[in-house]
C-alpha cells in the first residue's frame, strides 16, 4: 500500500493525501485499511456499537426539490402525498413510546410551500405560517406530551430557525451529501434541487456550529461524485467540526437504486466502495461518531462494523424507513445478535450523543429536563425494552 496504515498515529486524523490514497486502495490492501479503521473506532468508543430506537415522522413528503435518487418526495395530488396532522404525529409518537423508542425523527421535504399553493393552504388550515413553524410546533408537542426527544431533519435552516428548533429538540440534522456543486447540472443527481447547493448546506452546518447545536450530517455515496469528492466532503465536515466542535455524528449513506426514481438506471456503489468510504471517514474523523444505516447494506450490514462505524443510526421497531421504504430495518434482535457476533455490545442511545449533553443541559427548561429524564448515568437511553 502506498500509505502504510501502520504509520497512522492513534487518534490523529489522517491527511488529505493519505485519505485520497486509502479511498482508492486495491482489494489486496483493503483488509489492512479496515483493521486500522476498526482499531481507531476501538480507541474512540471501545466495545460498544450504539443505535437510536426511533419512530419516523414524515411530517410532509411534499418538497420543492427534485433529487434524482429520492423516493420520498411527492407533488400535491400524487399518490401517497401527505402532510401529517398533529393527531397523527402524537399517535405515532405514543405508539413508539410504548415500544421503548426514545427518538422522534422528523423528516420532511424542504419548504414545499414555496412551490405549492396546496401546501400553503394545508398550513393555513393547520394554523401555521410555514412548514418550519408547523415543525417547531410538532416538536414541541412531542416533547411536552411524550418521553420521546425530537430530532428534526427539515433541510436548509437559517440561523434563526436553528435557534428556534434547538429550543424544542436536543439535536438536529442536515446531510451535506457532497461538496460537488456540479451535481446540480442538468441530468445530474441534484438537477432541480436548489437546496442541495453545497455552499448553502455548509452555511446551515456552520450556523448550527456558531450556536453550539449538536448536529448530525454526512455524505452520500454513489450519486455521481468521485472518490476525491468523498474525501473533500469529509474534509469539509472535519473543518466545521474543528472550528465549532458540534458535529455529533457523520452518516455514510449509500445510494440504493429504486425503479421509480429518475436515477433508476444508475449503478449502486459496491460493497468495497462503501467499506473504503466508511474506513476513510473513521480515519479522517477518529474522534467523531460514524454511522451507516444497516438497512441500506442488508444482508451484509455487519461488515460495516469492520470498517469502523460505532453506530447504526435510527432503527425503528414501529415505522418503516419512509426514505427507503423497500429496505426494511433489520429486526432489533437480529441487529443485536449480529453486532455481538462481531464482538460488540449493542446499546440504545438517545438522539443526542452523551458527549454533547452539556450543550443542551446548559439551558435550563423542559428540553434539559426531558433529556436528563431519558438518560442513564452514561448518557445512553435509560428506558430499554427487549428487542
Ligand atoms: S432528498 Fe430531500 S430535498 Fe431531495 S427531493 Fe427528497 S425530500 Fe426533497
For 289-310, how does the pLDDT look when each residue is reduced to its tens digit (9 = 90+)? 999 999 888 888 899 999 999 9
Contact 72, 121 (CB under 8 A): no
Q: What are phi and psi of 152, to 5 degrees?
A: -85, 150
Q: Does residue 165 contact residue 204 with C-beta atoms inside 8 Å?
A: no
Exposed / middle / buried, residue 94 (Cβ in 10 Å: 0-12, 13-18, 19+):
middle
Q: Distance, CA 323 to ligand 1 centroid (Å)?
A: 9
Q: Residue 3's pLDDT is what?
A: 60
* pLDDT tens digits, one per residue of 7-61: 677 778 999 999 999 999 999 999 999 999 999 999 999 999 999 999 999 999 9
Question: Above 70 in pLDDT, residue 135?
Answer: yes
Check if 67 has its Cβ closer than 6 Å to any atom of ligand 1.
Answer: yes
| Beta-bridge partners for 315 | 53
DSSP letter at 194 equals G
pLDDT at 6 over 70: no
DSSP assignment letter at 294: G
Dist CA 174 CA 34 (whole Å): 27
Q: Over the stretch 323-361, which tens digit does the pLDDT of each residue have? A: 676 666 678 888 999 999 999 999 999 999 999 999 999
Hey, which of 59, 63, 195 would you mutate to test ligand 1's pocket, going by the most ligand atoms within 8 Å of its Cβ?
Answer: 63
Question: In sequence order, what are the residues at sequence separation of 6 or more whose Cβ sits closer than 8 angstroms to the Cβ of residue 39?
Answer: 10
65 in contact with ligand 1, CB cutoff 6 A: yes
In whole angstroms, what is the distance from residue 249 CA to residue 86 CA? 29
Confidence (pTM): 0.95
Q: Which protein residue has the closest C-alpha to ligand 1 atom 2?
A: 109
CA–CA distance from 241 to each of 9, 121, 188, 336, 352 (Å)?
A: 20, 40, 29, 30, 16
Q: Report pLDDT for 146.
A: 97
Q: What is the pLDDT of residue 209?
A: 98
State how beta strands 215-221 and 172-173 pair. parallel
In this prediction, residue 2 carries a pLDDT of 57
| Distance (Å) from CA 259 to ligand 1 centroid | 17
Distance CA 246, CA 159 (A): 15
User: If you measure from the C-alpha of residue 201 to the centroid of ligand 1, how many angstroms do you get, rounded to a whole number?
Assistant: 13
pLDDT at 1: 62
From the CA of 70, give the closest atom in ligand 1: 6
Q: Measure the CA–CA gap between 172 and 105, rounded to whole angstroms.
A: 9
Distance (Å, rounded) from C-alpha 107 to C-alpha 48? Answer: 27
What pLDDT sits at residue 54? 95
Three-class SS of residue 57?
strand
pLDDT band at 384 (very low <50, low <70, confident <90, very high): low
CA of 41 relative to ligand 1 center, distance in Å: 31
If you average pLDDT over residues 105-117, what whole number do you get? 97
Average pLDDT over residues 369-378: 96
Kindly indicate the confidence band of residue 83, based on its pLDDT and cuts at 50, 70 and 90. very high
Amino acid at each position: 500500500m502506498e500509505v502504510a496504515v501502520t504509520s497512522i498515529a492513534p487518534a490523529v486524523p489522517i491527511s488529505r493525501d493519505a485519505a485520497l490514497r486509502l479511498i482508492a486502495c486495491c482489494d489486496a490492501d483493503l483488509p489492512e485499511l479496515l483493521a486500522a479503521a476498526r482499531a481507531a473506532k476501538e480507541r474512540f468508543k471501545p466495545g460498544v456499537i450504539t443505535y437510536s430506537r426511533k419512530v419516523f415522522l414524515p411530517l410532509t413528503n411534499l418538497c420543492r426539490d427534485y433529487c434524482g435518487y429520492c423516493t420520498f418526495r411527492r407533488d400535491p395530488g400524487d399518490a401517497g402525498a401527505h402532510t401529517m396532522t398533529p393527531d397523527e404525529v402524537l399517535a405515532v409518537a405514543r405508539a413508539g413510546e410504548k415500544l421503548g423508542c426514545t427518538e422522534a425523527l422528523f423528516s420532511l421535504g424542504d419548504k414545499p410551500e414555496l412551490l405549492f399553493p396546496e401546501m400553503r393552504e394545508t398550513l393555513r388550515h393547520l394554523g401555521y405560517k410555514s412548514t418550519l413553524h408547523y415543525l417547531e410546533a410538532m416538536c414541541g408537542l412531542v416533547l411536552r406530551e411524550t418521553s420521546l426527544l425530537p430530532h428534526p431533519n427539515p433541510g436548509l435552516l437559517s440561523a434563526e430557525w436553528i435557534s428556534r428548533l434547538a429550543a424544542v429538540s436536543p439535536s438536529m440534522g442536515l446531510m451535506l451529501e457532497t461538496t460537488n456543486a456540479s451535481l446540480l447540472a442538468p441530468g445530474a443527481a441534484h438537477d432541480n434541487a436548489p437546496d442541495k447547493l453545497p455552499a448553502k448546506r455548509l452555511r446551515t452546518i456552520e450556523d448550527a456550529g456558531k450556536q453550539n447545536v449538536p448536529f448530525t450530517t454526512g455524505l452520500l455515496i454513489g450519486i455521481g461524485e468521485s472518490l476525491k469528492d468523498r474525501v473533500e466532503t469529509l474534509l469539509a465536515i472535519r473543518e466545521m467540526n474543528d472550528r465549532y466542535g458540534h458535529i455529533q455524528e457523520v452518516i455514510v449513506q449509500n445510494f440504493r437504486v429504486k425503479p421509480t426514481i429518475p436515477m433508476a438506471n444508475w449503478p449502486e456503489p459496491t460493497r468495497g466502495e462503501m467499506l473504503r468510504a466508511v474506513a476513510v471517514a473513521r480515519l479522517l474523523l477518529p474522534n467523531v461518531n460514524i454511522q451507516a444505516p444497516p438497512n441500506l447494506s442488508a444482508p451484509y450490514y455487519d461488515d460495516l462494523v469492520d470498517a469502523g462505524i460505532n453506530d447504526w443510526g435510527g432503527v425503528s421497531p414501529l415505522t418503516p424507513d419512509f426514505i427507503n421504504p423497500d429496505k426494511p430495518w433489520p429486526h432489533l434482535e437480529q441487529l443485536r445478535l449480529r453486532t455481538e457476533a462481531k464482538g460488540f455490545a449493542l446499546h440504545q442511545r438517545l438522539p443526542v450523543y452523551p458527549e454533547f449533553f452539556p450543550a443542551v443541559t446548559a439551558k435550563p427548561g423542559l428540553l434539559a429536563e426531558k433529556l436528563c429524564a431519558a438518560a442513564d448515568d452514561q448518557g445512553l437511553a435509560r428506558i430499554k425494552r427487549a428487542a
